[in-house]
Amino acid sequence: MTRRYDRPAILLAALAAAFPPLYGWAVRSMLRRNLARLWAGDPEPLLAAYAEDIHFVFPGRSSWAADVHGKQAVRRWLERFVRVGLRFEVHEILVDGPPWDTTACLWFTDRLASPDGQEVYENRGTIVAKIT
């Protein structure tokens, strides 16, 4: 039999155990929603989640390579991404850590089709983001 004064401790333990999966679900849902808006041509929801002093790195030697600072520089990069017509398919989103020190990892494929519908570009990648 559970003693009356043990109930708050049990409830607190149950909430603590449930919090990480719920938080992870919320972050994944937010990312999927914001990315869907980006692909529809609206970068604002995604940008709203960024700090003004964001440091964004897209490694490589292609024209997409970037190492930019600030929300406006990221906006220009994202607007080009949408304007060119790249399509982004998220396969998995992993979330770890508490709200004040969260790491999110997206595994994705992006593709570009020519005007006649032929796929001319495909890239698989991973994005690691720190949410603090």
Reading the block at residue 70, the tokens are 């600030």
Whether the CB-CB separation of 111 and 86 falls below 8 Å is answered with: yes
Q: Rounded distance, CA 74 to CA 60, Å?
A: 16
Whether the CB-CB separation of 55 and 74 falls below 8 Å is answered with: no
Q: Report the candidate in 108, 124, 106 with the shortest Cα–Cα distance to residue 31.
A: 106
* Percent of residues, the chain, with pLDDT higher than 90: 54
Q: What pLDDT sits at residue 81?
A: 87
- Angle in degrees, CA 53, 99, 44, rounded to 5: 45
Whether the CB-CB separation of 82 and 101 falls below 8 Å is answered with: no
Residue 14's pLDDT band (cuts 50, 70, 90): low
Q: What pLDDT sits at residue 100?
A: 87
Q: Rounded distance, CA 6 to CA 41, Å?
A: 53
Q: What pLDDT sits at residue 93?
A: 96
The whole-number average pLDDT for the span 126-132 is 88
Three-state SS string across 104-120, please? EEEEEEEEEECCCCCEE
pLDDT per residue as tens digits for the range 49-60: 888 999 999 888
Q: Which domains does the chain have, with CATH numbers?
A: 4-131 (3.10.450.50)
pLDDT per residue as tens digits for the range 15-34: 666 677 888 999 999 999 99
Q: Mean pLDDT of all residues in the chain?
A: 87
Q: Is the pLDDT of residue 8 over 80?
A: no
Burial of 77 from C-beta contacts in 10 A (0-12 / 13-18 / 19+): middle
pLDDT per residue as tens digits for the range 101-127: 999 999 999 999 998 989 998 989 999
Q: Rounded distance, CA 69 to CA 75, Å?
A: 11
